[in-house]
Each structure stands twice: as C-alpha cells, then as structure tokens.
Chains A and B, each alone.
Chain A
C-alpha cells in the first residue's frame, strides 16, 4: 500500500477493463437476485400475464405449505450428512495420501477424476448401479426381497443421493486438504517426533490443527455446494421421489417454477433459500472463521 501512488493513473481504461465482466454479473447475477426478492412480493402470472403487489401473501402461502417445510427439513438433513461425509472422506484420504506410501501417487491421480464427470452423468450411473433389479444389490434382493429399493424406500433413495454426492465432491476437497497438509513444514513433524508424538498422535495434534483453515473453507463451500449441486443428482436418480422423500428445496423450486408455472412461489422460496445460504455462511465466518487463523 505504501506505493499506491505509483499505480497506473488512467481514468477510463480500468472502467473499460472491468466493464464486460461487470455487465454480465449485473445482468445475470444482481438482476436475478434482486428480481427473486422483488417477485416474492408480487403475484406473477406466467408468460408475462401481468403482476400484482400482494405484500407478504406469498411468504404466508409458502410458509404455511407443509411441503415447503418438508423440503426445507430434507435440505438441512442432506446438507448436514452429505457435506460432513463429503469433507470427512476426502480428509481421511488426504491424510493417508500425504504419507509416503506406494498407493499415494496413484491416489493423487485417480481421486481427481470425478471432477470430469458431470453430476448428472454420475447420477445416471449410480441410478443404474443401485438399481434394485439389475444393480449391485440385485443378488441380495433376490435372497431378501425388498431389502433394497430406492424406487420404493425413501431412505434408500436418500442414501444413494449422499453416496453420489460424496463421490462427486472428492476431487476438490481432497486437493484442497492435501495442499494444506503438504504446506505444513517438515520441521513441525520433526519437532513433534522429538517431543515423543507418534504418527497417529501427530494427526490430532499437528495435522488437523494446522489445516483448520482449509478444513473450514471446504466446509463453508461444501454447505452451499451440497444444497445446490444436488439438483442434477435428484433429477437423474430419483426425480424427487419416492413419494417426495428426496425433494429438496432446490428441486422443489425448479418443479414449482418450471413445471407448475408458479413464479411467485418459486421466487419466494428462492429468496428464502438465498437468505438461508447467506446467513449460514455469515454464521460460519462469525463463529468458526476467526478462531482458526494462525501466524506461521
């Protein structure tokens, strides 16, 4: 900052440089975000059929709808289970891959592959693998009929969703956590070893505390990620069923808006979901964020 005055002092050039991106961001981010809140106070007719100010009626309607609360509850359950697993599994793998063992090189390569597989594609694949009649569980189902059927049993469907989500989330979280582990200076391990800490002990006493920033970050991003990217999985694996048991909020918004043409209801739910996501991130930063910054 001491040399601020040495920066380029152009007046119109920087404007020109940020203009293209800012235009896109205003048009496709800020306008839609604003419109979601705006429409939640209006009754919108589909196909541009006019709109009418209705105050908080949309909110009253949405909040009194048990379907909304069910979808919201499922969203929170999914968020907690799926994102915990989607951080814990890569964390274990990263700690393992950080050791100098034969498999760690192969693992570092293979574990980023899912980044190239679309959520919808892996949804199609998992739907097949967990198909009760021809999939992985088919032989068991033949022995114990009705043991596994995601098409009938809501819990089974939920489990397949979580399994597919964790699969998709491995690359990013694995790479981030491994990078965090690798940035720990080797002298730290040497010091701990001199203090008598075994390799097991060092996981809890050295590695985990020192990758807290990365762990925190993966959690923050994973919370948002788990409740949005799950759409592709739901749409390809369960279609929200059976009996609505996998209809999460992001899917319900899509169905209400694009199938039911209830723009006001969908916008109102969008607005609520946005506030929820923002509050969640804010809470994480306030309660977790400031405890984990160490001077190295």
Chain B
C-alpha cells in the first residue's frame, strides 16, 4: 500500500477568495462579496440549503463560472481569469458526468490524453489510480455497465489521476443509497488522508459535513453564517440558522422574554434566570433536555415516536413545539404533563431580530455567559 500511497500524492495548495462576488444581472446577486481562506490540505465542506450559492461558489473556484468581482488565489496564483485546465483543480460531479462512450480506463485517462501524456505513462497512472479506488478489474468496462458506487469511484479516479492541488466535490454522494453513501464517505476520508489535496466538498447533507470536514462553511443566501470545525458548529452555533440546520432532530428554538431577572415563555413559565430585558430566542437541543419529577418546566405530550435506540417526544410548551429525545430505557410516567428542566450549560441564546448568538452556554453562578465567541 505504501508504494501506491506515494504514487499519487498531490502538492496541496491553499485557496483564498478575496471579495469574490457573483451576480447574473443588476437584480439577482447570488453571492455578495465573500472572503475566505482555506489552508493547504484542509478538507472544507460547504454546507447550505439548495439555492444558497454553494454550487456557484464551487464552480467559480473550478473556473466553470466567471466571477463577477474579486480575486481567487490558488497556491499563490491569481486564477480568476484562467481557464479551468490551468487552475490545477479537479472535480467530482453530482451525476458523475462520466463519458458514456469511453471505457473506465479512457474516462480516467482523458485529462492526461488532452494534456499530451504518453500512452505508456497514461496506462501506468491509470493502473495505480484504479488500484487506489478499487476498480482494477473494471478498466475495460463502459460506465453503463457499472453500479452507482463504481461509477462514483471512476469519477473520483478521474479527478485524482492528475494529482491536482485542489479537489472539488459537487454533492458527489447525493445519488447513492444510504448504505453506499456511508461506505463512500469512509473511503473519501481515507483517500483524502492519503492524497492530501486541498478539498472543497459541497453538500446539503449535514452528516456528510460533520463526518468529513476539517472545517464547515455554512452558507445561507450567499452569506457565510459560520466557518468553523464541526464540533464548534454543533456546540457553539453562531446563529439560529446554523442551530436549526445542524443536528437531527434540530435544535428547539423558543421565543422568550427577559423581565430583568428571568427568561419567561409566553405563558409565564420561567425557563432560566437572566439579567437582561427584551425578547430573545432560546435554543436547546432535544437530547439536552432533562425529564425529571423535580423539573419546574411543564410541557404537554402530543405524540411519541419510538425509534428503538431512542424515543422522540413531541410536546407542547406555551403553544410552541418542543422536541425531546429520550435514550432507550428511560422511564417516563404515562401522564400527559411532563416535568422538565433545561441544564443551563446547554442553553443557547439568540438575538430575536438578527438571529445571531448572544450566549452559547450559561454559567450557573452568574447570569453572565461562560463562553461567547464572535464569528467572522
């Protein structure tokens, strides 16, 4: 394996986007000026709902879309005006985009052929890459004769064969079934470790983002909501948008009002002590809610979903929906009304207007936050 490992090894390049924008015309701006720097060899996942501009961003890095303004710097070179082939990027497409009339070997070797690499060298490189992606026995086949997972491997092989400094992925796993998606995720992580190219991976799947990324870039309507490690994003979401986007089931967001001493729900229940006045959005993850007889917060059970490993309770609290995850085996009395408590260290407080985070955890002793981090 070590021989193969050294055979395909990219010199990772850093990527810097400086004030990059994309607008189709005066009215439709897809991406307002964006500034972001990706470290060499880093695996960045760009995450966001459909239409957030994540694919456009990727295509601008690749050179498939023209930038409307700003600079793209890859490995110290300004590339925004270069053709795709001169940028040192390779790409894996959502629907694989394999050439249906070429064999697996020809598909993988095509970029080398265009670049004028000799036939013998091409065959040698194809052999190495085919072994890496586990397709050594399929080289003479056409894409139509392959399974979805195998096609995906061809697409990856085609991308890495040029030893690109930058590997771009455009939702490459979205067409696979759940099991295959999991397997490919593991393989991708392993490949990344071995090749070491700077990778940008676009997806709308939070599981892919959490498992693959060194850092996740969350986009919403072309704007960066947060750019941080998966852990930080999960535990310290910078906004309501991020809080609701990451985690399954998503974080509960409750409208609360501060009266100077406590945060109250609409029906007057106190959910936490807090010194500031005004209206806020309070966030708590379903698995962080404690169900116990001593809890002072009351919620009505509307519906129970038993998933075997855990149970999800849909409850009603002050006319808002509150989801609670219970581990397997946790006993609850069959009564309609639950007694809950919200651990202070697990609470998140957001500005009710901007949606930005104010506190990402409460200290028990004081009402001051133990951890506040400004992002961006």
The chain A residues found within 8 Å of chain B, CB to CB, are: 2-3, 5-6
Contact = CB atoms under 8 A, between A and B. Distances in A.
B205 interface: no
Interface stretch (B59-67, B271-279, B289-297, B344-352): B59-67
Closest 6 CB pairs of A and B: A5-B66, A6-B64, A5-B65, A6-B65, A3-B65, A3-B64
Interface in B49-80: 56, 59, 64-66
Contacts of B24: 2
Contacts of A2: 24, 56
B28 to A, nearest CB: 10
A6 B60 CA distance: 9
Contacts of B59: 3, 6
A7 B64 CA distance: 8
Given A2-B24, A5-B66, 6 more contacts: A2-B56, A3-B59, A3-B65, A5-B65, A6-B65, A6-B66
Contacts of B56: 2
Contacts of B64: 3, 6
Q: Interface size bucket, B side?
A: under 10
A211 B24 CA distance: 38
Contacts of A6: 59, 64-66
Nearest to B63: A6
Contacts of A3: 59, 64-65
A141 to B, nearest CB: 61
Interface string B21-32: 000100000000
A6 B56 CA distance: 11
A7 B59 CA distance: 12
B374 to A, nearest CB: 34
B144 to A, nearest CB: 23
A2 B24 CA distance: 8
A5 B66 CA distance: 6
A5 B68 CA distance: 10
Contacts of B66: 5-6
A5 B64 CA distance: 7
A34 B65 CA distance: 42
A2 B56 CA distance: 9
A2 B59 CA distance: 11
Contacts of A5: 65-66
Interface in B256-289: none
11 contacts: A2-B24, A2-B56, A3-B59, A3-B64, A3-B65, A5-B65, A5-B66, A6-B59, A6-B64, A6-B65, A6-B66
Nearest to B64: A6
A3 B64 CA distance: 8
A166 B164 CA distance: 63
B293 to A, nearest CB: 55
A2 B57 CA distance: 13
A7 to B, nearest CB: 10
B313 to A, nearest CB: 39
A114 to B, nearest CB: 34
A16 to B, nearest CB: 20
A8 to B, nearest CB: 10
A5 B59 CA distance: 10
Output the residue of A2, A3, A5 with the most chain B CB within 10 A: A5
A191 to B, nearest CB: 29
Contacts of B65: 3, 5-6
A2 B66 CA distance: 11
A11 to B, nearest CB: 15
B61 to A, nearest CB: 12
Nearest to B62: A6
Nearest to A5: B66
A224 B207 CA distance: 60
Interface string B78-89: 000000000000
A195 to B, nearest CB: 35
A210 to B, nearest CB: 29
Interface string B42-54: 0000000000000
A245 to B, nearest CB: 57
A209 to B, nearest CB: 34
A5 B23 CA distance: 11
A2 B22 CA distance: 11
A5 B56 CA distance: 11
A7 B24 CA distance: 15
Nearest to A6: B64
Nearest to B84: A6
A5 B80 CA distance: 13
B81 to A, nearest CB: 11
A3 B65 CA distance: 6
A6 B85 CA distance: 13
B80 to A, nearest CB: 12
A139 B65 CA distance: 76
A3 B63 CA distance: 11
A47 B59 CA distance: 63
A10 to B, nearest CB: 12
Nearest to A8: B83
Nearest to B68: A5
Nearest to B67: A5
A72 to B, nearest CB: 50
A2 B65 CA distance: 9
Nearest to B22: A5
